[in-house]
Structures are given as structure tokens and as C-alpha cells.
Amino acid sequence: MSVTHRLTAPAPGWTTDTDVVVVGSGVAGLTVALNVRRAGLRAMVVTKAMLDDGSTRWAQGGIAAALGEGDTPEQHLTDTLVAGAGLCDGDSVRTLVTEGPDAVRRLIAVGAAFDRGEDGDVLLTREGGHHRNRIAHAGGDATGAEISRALVEAVRRDPDVELIEHALVLDLLTDADGHAAGLTLHVMGEGQRDGVGAVRARAVVLATGGMGQVFSATTNPAVSTGDGVALALRAGAEVTDLEFVQFHPTVLWLGPEAEGQQPLVSEAVRGEGAHLVDADGVRFMLGQHELAELAPRDIVAKAITRRMREHGTDHMYLDGRHFGAEMWQRRFPTILASCRAHGIDPVTEPIPVAPAAHYASGGVRTDTRGRTSVPGLSACGEVACTGVHGANRLASNSLLEGLVFAERIAADLTARLAAGDLPERVVDVEAARAARPVPLPAPEARAEIQRLMSRGTGVLRSAASMAATAAGLARLAEQTRAAVAEEKPADPRVETWEAANLLLVADALVTAAAQREETRGCHWREDFPERDDAHWQRHLITTLTASGGPVSTLEEP
């Protein structure tokens, strides 16, 4: 398999090399780099902005692991499978829940300081879909910031982890056997490594995070543009489960015109007893699910969306006034500050909330060693689809997934090195040249893609709404081709490369979502409201056709 398409970009003007190049510096990427280094391999981390600019830093609630008395990996497995609605991969989930507790202990050993009780034990709370208290948290509601701090400090302490910040990775390079042999990137800096260059490597690890920016309202930061999924598709890799996007039910509602990243009001607030109410103060989750406000996220997001429709409004409320000022300050300082910064005081008034795109359950398809369908290309963290989330992610399983599967990739690469199965690679220059250049949309396409996706392929979906999204995306693609034909192409630069990635990922997502004619997990079809195991308890695998468009095929039973 070779790279068949590539982003339009200048030829690399410089080259460097390493053993393992890791793309992304969240929990997944940094964990791979640290572990690969311990095994004696040279590691390079390439990241789009600053080291801590991904989703990891924003995680609030915590990290799930069976660490508490009476809890077991088996119970964690059961809750994960229930949330995944029949599409989890059993082996992957078992790996996650059994290796999770020790992976968290190793994270603590790296320096992450979790909140502890007076007895010194790590405090554990509960979130939606969990039947046990098993969410470890840090700084109250600043878990991701603490994990990110600890990992960033650890890689900065290691002079043998090479860090390249402000570098947008463009495409994969392969050798003559189709094995990953490095990547192309654009460094936004000055000095020897400015502009487009190439990194040669024995193995490539994608840890580029999510794709929330494909929607107008998201909890994800600006860097979450689905670059890893787009790169993998262009490289001929299989991606899967793209239709399963988790919409977080309770994101601070900032008004009808708000776009981009919006502040999350963590599930842990509901875990501690806050109620969802409508404008009349009615607790509408009661009677909808045995766990009421703590039902799995898709149930809560749908219930909020339905209630909003019934009431002709675009938000509901989360009422935590009964916590009192002291508890808000101690337990949820970040959320309290963020609400107050937007003029809302949760101590004295209910918080206006609405659902927003939060988590991509799907991604680049991997096995339990993190290997993708392209030899030498591994993926972990949110960009990957290991199969642990199925049709819906259980809250706080994603940081854990990033951690556990990053460790497994490092172990896999180390074992391959020991077995002599990780030789130096020679980039196949002819293949790289032969890859077809993907035209770049104008930067303004980003906002249009987001609007199209939120309008037609958001929480509520139907054949008609998704056809409208697909038609809008096709129009954008046509305008892009026309600009090239008229010799007025958009300049290759970060904004246009990201727009091209968003357009491809949006197209792939709509293709899969339109094909799945059932309601399952976080994929909710108004025209197919039932779960249909007979036809659909299978994955859709998406690849690129020779013309560069995505095609989804149903996995063989």
C-alpha cells in the first residue's frame, strides 16, 4: 500500500531523521515518546502548536480505572460494553480495563498528582454510565491539565526526546515496500527547519487527537481538525466508526451565534448531584433512564435536544445551586471560573447548557498493538479506533485509552526493534511524487464545513439532513477544483491544509453516517429510530477511492 493522495504543498526543503516519529503531544503522543525512549530508541515528537495545546489539557472529569475497593476490571468492562451499544471490540476493552489501573499508577510515578483523601488514597468519583466510583481526578476538575503538565515536564527533562513545536504534519512517506518511512511537515518557525521538510523514520505514530472542529460548536481546541484521520485516509489506511461522534450534553451555552471551542460543564457536576432542568425548573431526565442525569451521554444529549425542540429553545439548564459556594470552589474551581467569566454564577443561578461535539469514537483502525492497516504506521489516543468505545464512549475512558494503547505501541515497537524487524527505511521518492495533490479550499471553507455538519449531521440526523450536508460539501469541493482550474488556487498554508483535512474528514463522516440506517449509541437517525442488530451490528470501514473520495463498506460478519 502506498500513499495515493497528498496535500498540495511545496517539495520538502530539508530532511532529518529519527527512529520513531510521533505526531501529537497529548496524553497519547507523549506517553509513546517517553516509553520508546526508555527502550533506547530515538524519539521525535512533532506537534502543531505548543506541546500542551491538544484536548488532553482540557479534560476535566478524570480518568477511569478500577482502582477502588470492591471495583474490578470486569465491572469496568461491563459498563464500557453497555455504553458501546454492541460495537465494542471485546479484546480491546479487556486490554483497556485490565491494564488501566497499572497504567494510571505509572502515570502517577511520572509525576501526575491526583486528588487524594485524608487517608492518602486517590479519590474516586462517578460519571455517567459507571456503576462504581472509579474516576480519578486532579485539581478538582483540572485532571487533563495536571496529566499534561506531568508528561510535558517529563519529556522536557529527557534530552533524547526531540521536540518540534509549531509544525503541521502533512502526509505520510513510505518506502518501496509500502512501509511507513517518515512524513512531510511544515514548520512555522525560523532557522534551519523552516517551511516544508521531511522526517525519515523507522516507524510513525499518529497521536493527533480528535476532529471536533468539523462542527460549529465543540469542546475541542482549535488544533482538533482531524488531520490524523485525513492523513491516514490519503495514505491508504482504513478508518472506521466515524459516524459515532459523541456530543457532550452539557456545554456552556454562549448564545445562538457562538462558534468553535466552547467551555465544558463536566459530567462530574451531574455526578455530584446537579440536576438538568428546563426553563420551568422541571427535571426532565427523571423517568427517561434508571440513572436519570447520569445516563450515558447519548441518552442525555438526545433528551436535551428533544426537550429543546419541544420548547422551541436552544438550551436547557444545569442546576447545582444546592452545592453551595464552598463546594463549587473546592470541587469545580475551573468550571466555576469559566461560568463566571461568561457572566453566570452557578452558586446562585442554573447554568444554561446545550450539547456540542465532544469526542470521536471512531478513527484510524488499529489492532490491540496499535498497528493500522498501513505497515509501520501506528495510531493511539483519540485519532485511533481501537474498538474500545464501540458506538459510544463511556465517560473518562479516553484518557485511559490514550495511556494504555500508547504504552502498547511503545512495547510493540521495542519488541520489533529487538527482533530486528525495525530497519532503517529509505523513502520511496517516486511514490511520493506520484501521489496525487489534493487541491486546497479557501480558509473560509472551515466555517462553512462546520455549519453544514452541525446543521445536517449533528446530534439529530436523517437521510434528508445528511444529503443537504453532503451537497454543501460537494459544492465546496467543486469551488476548490474550479479555483485550481482558473489558476487561482488557495496558497498552501496552515489554514488551507486544515480546511482540506476538515473537508475530507467531514465527507468521510457523512458518507458513513448516511449509510448506517439505524440508531445506535451516539448515532441518532430520526428516520431509523431503532437499533437494528440484524443488519448493523457491524463496523463501516472507510477508505479513499482512486479519485480521492471516501467510500464506506460494511465489515464482513
Active site residues: 297
Residue 198: strand, helix, or coil: strand
- Extended beta strands in 418-494, E state: 436-438
Options 5-13, 201-209, 270-278, 470-478: segment touching ligand FAD (CB under 6 A): 201-209
State which of residues 4, 18, 35, 55 lies at the interface with ligand FAD (CB under 6 A).
55
125 is an interface residue for ligand FAD by CB under 6 A: no
- CA 399 from centroid of its chain's CA atoms: 10
Contact with ligand FAD (CB under 6 A) among 19, 53, 99, 241: 53
Pairing label, strands 43-46, 63-64 = unpaired
Q: In whole angstroms, how close is the CB of 31 to ligand FAD at the nearest point? A: 8
| Residue span 149-178 as binding mask against ligand FAD, x where in contact by CB under 6 A, dash where not | ------------------xxx---------
**Count of residues making up the chain:** 557
Binding mask 235-274 for ligand FAD (x = CB under 6 A): -----------------------------x----------
Cα(470)–Cα(14) distance, integer angstroms: 39
- Give the range of 53-61, 92-100, 365-373, 466-474 binding ligand FAD by CB under 6 A: 53-61
Name the minimum Å distance from CB 344 to ligand FAD. Answer: 17
Smallest distance, Å, CB 16 to ligand FAD?
A: 15
CB of 485 to ligand FAD, least distance (A): 27
Which parts of 454-473 interact with ligand FAD (CB under 6 A)? none
Separation of alpha carbons 352 and 314, rounded Å:
10
Contact between 278 and ligand FAD per CB under 6 A: no
Q: State the minimum distance, in angstroms, from the CB of residue 553 to ligand FAD.
A: 26
The DSSP letter of residue 165 is -
Q: Which of 535, 513, 508, 536 is nearest to 525 (CA)?
A: 513
Answer for the pair 39, 412: CB distance below 8 angstroms, yes or no.
no
Name the residue among 24, 14, 134 with its Cα closest to residue 406: 24
Cα diameter, the chain: 70
Scanning residues 306 to 365, which ones bind ligand FAD (CB under 6 A)?
359
Please say whether the beta carbons of 230 and 440 come within 8 A. no
Query: Which of 49, 108, 188, 327 is in the footprint of ligand FAD by CB under 6 A?
Result: 49
Minimal distance, residue 209 CB to ligand FAD, in Å: 2
What is the distance between the alpha carbons of residues 489 and 479, in angstroms, rounded to a whole number? 10
Residue 87 CB, shortest distance to ligand FAD, in Å, is: 18
- CB-wise, 236 or 381, nearer to ligand FAD? 381
Amino acid in the structure at residue 401:
E
Between residues 362 and 472, which has the closer beta carbon with respect to ligand FAD? 362
Tell which one of 2, 4, 8, 25 touches ligand FAD (CB under 6 A).
25
**What distances in angstroms separate CA 339 from CA 12, 128, 213, 254, 334, one per listed residue?**
46, 22, 22, 10, 9
Quick one: which H or E segment has residue 79? helix 73-83
Stretch that binds ligand FAD, among 100-108, 219-227, 327-335, 535-543 (CB under 6 A): 219-227
- With left for phi above 0 and alpha for psi between -120 and 50, is residue 371 left, alpha or beta? beta
* 3-state secondary structure at position 205: strand
From the list 118-126, 205-213, 363-371, 439-447, the region that binds ligand FAD by CB under 6 A is: 205-213
Question: Is the CB of 144 or the CB of 550 nearer to ligand FAD?
Answer: 144
CA-based nearest residue to 283, from 303, 265, 266, 298: 303
138, three cell numbers: 486532579
> What residues make contact with ligand FAD under the rule CB under 6 A?
23-29, 46-49, 53-56, 58-63, 143-144, 167-169, 207-210, 219-220, 223-224, 227, 264, 359, 381-382, 396-399, 402
